[in-house]
A and B are shown apart, each in its own frame.
Chain A
């Protein structure tokens, strides 16, 4: 790297401090991991413990130091640094400086490392002495890997990590920019700023929450690994349980915030699009929910040990895998918002595989197999780096690892002898966790299509949203049924009659309410016109609806009758009600989402094609009022505020006397950013029962103040047959008929004067019909110019040619300059009962918090 020409104004010291912190954090984490390892081997030697603890403290301080340094640079606009230049600028208000911090990849790794440090310190202060060393050893090892992603050093030609503290002129993308050659350039430049698409409060709260969620999956993971390592498969689960439910709560919140952001501020037209980036945060959550539930089984009865380890480990590994998916550039065209490739693909693959290797190695309880597996892995890695064949080697390695996992499970893992009863809670909770695992595996498989393409040289296109829904609805139905009934089973053995007695009221209510809602919703409407809805979908929607209601009623009933309405014990019931409401809200708002912007404009009558049913857009000219759903909508005009162009719409309803009453205003906008391009932001009116969502798909951003100009534009020529249409800016013109003053016989005899009249029918926006009759006059074989002006519409026609062979006529039309009025094309949807979804989210989070508080209280009571 060339830093020989030091510019006086460059503040190199701060970057050096930052990089020093990075190196220190990496080294300290490594020392900490090694010392914790030795400490765990010989628990009597407290020397290792001291070193381990001190080095983890140093690591923590360094991570905070890196963050503080980066923040200081952003806050003080040190544009000589690439990260500051790329992500901030002078006008940036305080809350967005935070957002700049994690907008880039390096910053988001740093945020991840920061949360890990926070959680790691809480963990080591609260954990039993027995588990401290093994869990923290793994924890520190993970931190080594994350810190290395910030390193940015070259090993040969290979760049390890990406350093956030490189100078602008060290960044190959900017190194040759001319302004960098100027002396004292720092004083003259301004940063590129935050992507305006991200400049909203979601960007301030969503990433920290989501990354805390990702971090939180690490704690159950280190516990499970420690359990495998120390071959104590049970005692770690009690302390890990609270952490697991914390993870479920916070990761769930992060994901739902992402959905809310997509719905409120981006123009997806929904809250969930099965985008790979969304999926890769959902999958670890599903697995973590499974892990939490089998842990509860183990706490009360024991039995699902292997499943617990599998799920607790898989959740974090899937976070790592999703990091690989979204940050390696492998998603390519299948995701709209994956990060750019920073050349870390190889590194990320190695990380995922390393942790997979550790898991399998710890599972194998046989020295010979263990050592040969490790040797084989390193040999294969070496061979792959030196000779290639990486993909084949990877597949072989994965197969070997899989076989060894199965073998170790059969051979070395403790298993229950007696079979669980069909009428036991533990059996159905196990099945529930399995359903969550299966669901997440299906999503992972679909999301991984680009990876499979690369592995097997395929050309498969990404899976469609409809296929995701098709596969996930059955899982959701089974999950809801289990959520409803499982709590009525007792551990070990339940009386089936008692069980049926408990659930019958809820079942009855669910059927009555469910059927009375489902029949009008899905079966009374005629769907024959739309092809996308088939019968199977409708049946599965109906089943989902009824199961969701069943789950709500059962849990309410359990809370009220069995738990006697006590809030303290009701965490699980409340969270389950929330879960059911989320699915219910998602189902209704998605399946009954209505496009209300179907084109009702008179103008389109002529072009009603086969696609009319599929039409989604409405053209709205300024001043027009058109019906849209239950409303009439008017486009009032646009205003520009900074880079945002707002399109103001008034929505009217009709009162009893048929008079228009203004109901509300919406101002969807198009952001016109010179750097990022144009982005459409929707505007949504929220009602209790439904949302009216509107976004502009096409609008002219430049100011088109109405031109007070009476002049005509240059005429355009139209060649047309009878019944053809001509489109003017303000009308549709139909060639209705053609009349002559002479018959053909008369014309051939007497060629003195021929008059052919074209009768044109012009329909304006409001449906008024005007007649224009331009004439073709032929006198003594000369065409006499004749102009017909349609004053009402500001149109002029000249009928100047007849092509007898083609049977067509030619007409010149000119329009007045000010006929062209400003217009927008918009799409509008009605989302019914989407509030059920949001209420469900809040209820689920509250329920989980109640459960965590209760768990902590019980743990404290027991400890006393």
Chain B
């Protein structure tokens, strides 16, 4: 067996490893219903902030926690507890992705990604 073949095997092993881990570990986009069904699994839930409900944030009580209502893409609304300070321009967000787990009837998120109309792109109002 040539050394080049050993290298080839290493390459294939890495490829299989990468594909396997990405299929196994990486979380999936989901909605509140699925997150409620599996309370111990981490999900990325996509949805919109309910702008009519108040965003609660009192830094004097806990600077690392805020809560709000979010409507997921299936239309289900849940209370969200985000373990972070309230993101800037949160009220203007168009779409949000939360990363976290369901705890009881609340969704507890550690991370949030926001799609704002115009933060890093060139400020065009999106259709």
Is B14's CB under 8 angstroms from A173's CB? no
**B70 CB within 8 Å of chain A:** no
- Chain B min CB distance to A328 (Å): 13
Q: Within A462-491, which residues are at the interface with B (CB < 8 Å)?
A: 462-464, 467, 471
Tell yes or no: B64 within 8 A of A by CB.
Answer: yes
Interchain CB contact (< 8 A) of A431 among B7, B60, B97, B116: B7
Q: Flag if B64 contacts A616 (CB, 8 Å).
A: yes
B60 contact from A86, A336, A603, A670, Cβ within 8 A: A603
Interface check A362, CB cutoff 8 A: no
Count of interface residues, chain B, beta-carbon cutoff 8 Å: 51
Q: A340-B122, A462-B26, A467-B21 are in contact. List 16 more A-B contacts (CB 8 A).
A: A103-B122, A195-B120, A195-B123, A333-B46, A333-B115, A338-B120, A339-B122, A445-B19, A459-B28, A615-B64, A617-B64, A676-B118, A677-B89, A677-B92, A823-B60, A825-B85
Q: Which A residue sits closest to B121, measured CB to CB?
A: A340
**Nearest-neighbor residue (CB-CB) of A416 within chain B:** B4
A221 at the binding interface (Cβ < 8 Å): no
* In contact, B26 and A460 (Cβ under 8 angstroms): yes
State whether A337 touches B61 (Cβ < 8 A): no
Which residues from A are CB-within-8-Å of B118? 195, 675-677
Answer whether residue A192 sits at the interface, using C-beta atoms and an 8 A cutoff: yes
CB–CB B59/A173 < 8 A: no
B46 x A197 contact (CB < 8 A): no
Knowing A599-B63, A677-B88, A825-B63, the reply to whether A460 touches B29 (Cβ < 8 A) is yes
A618 to B62, CA, bound (A): 9
* Bound complex: CA A18 to CA B65 (Å): 53
In angstroms, Cα B97 to Cα A510, docked, is 45
Residues of A within 8 A of B121 (CB): 337-340
A660-718 with Cβ < 8 A to chain B: 670, 675-680, 697-698
Sample of 28 A–B contacts (CB below 8 Å): A86-B122, A173-B124, A173-B125, A195-B118, A334-B113, A337-B120, A337-B121, A339-B122, A419-B2, A438-B11, A446-B22, A449-B22, A449-B26, A463-B22, A463-B26, A467-B21, A471-B21, A599-B63, A616-B64, A617-B63, A676-B119, A677-B118, A678-B89, A679-B119, A697-B84, A697-B85, A727-B60, A827-B85
Whether A766 sits at the interface, judged by CB under 8 Å, is no
Partner of B122, one of A104, A461, A618, A619: A104
A604 at the interface (CB under 8 A from B): yes
> In the complex the two chains form, what is the Cα distance from A446 to B115 in whole Å?
21
* Chain B residues whose CB sits within 8 angstroms of the CB of A670 once the complex forms: 88
Cβ of A87 under 8 Å from chain B: yes
User: Contact at B63–A619, with CB atoms within 8 Å?
Assistant: yes
Which residues of the partner chain A approach B83 to less than 8 Å between Cβ atoms?
611, 614
Q: How far is the CA of A86 from the CA of B122 in the complex (A)?
A: 8
With a cutoff of 8 Å between Cβ atoms, the chain B residues found around residue A434 in the complex are 7, 11
> With an 8 A cutoff between CB atoms, is B9 at the interface?
no
Contacts A338-B121, A463-B26 given; indicate if A442 touches B64 (C-beta within 8 A): no
Which of B25, B30, B119 has the most chain A CB within a 10 Å cutoff? B119
Determine if A460 and B126 form an interchain contact, defined as CB atoms under 8 angstroms apart: no
Minimum distance in angstroms from B18 CB to a CB of chain A = 5
Interface residues of A in 26-62 (CB under 8 A from B): none
Q: How far is B123's CA from A87's CA once the two chains are assembled, in angstroms?
A: 9
- Establish whether residues A419 and B122, one from each chain, have CB atoms under 8 Å apart when the complex forms: no
Q: Which residues of A contact B46 (CB under 8 A)?
A: 333
With both chains docked as a complex, state the minimum distance between the C-beta of B96 and any C-beta of chain A, in angstroms.
Answer: 9
Give Cα A615–Cα B62 distance, bound, in whole angstroms.
9
Q: How many Å from the CB of B52 to the closest CB on chain A?
A: 20
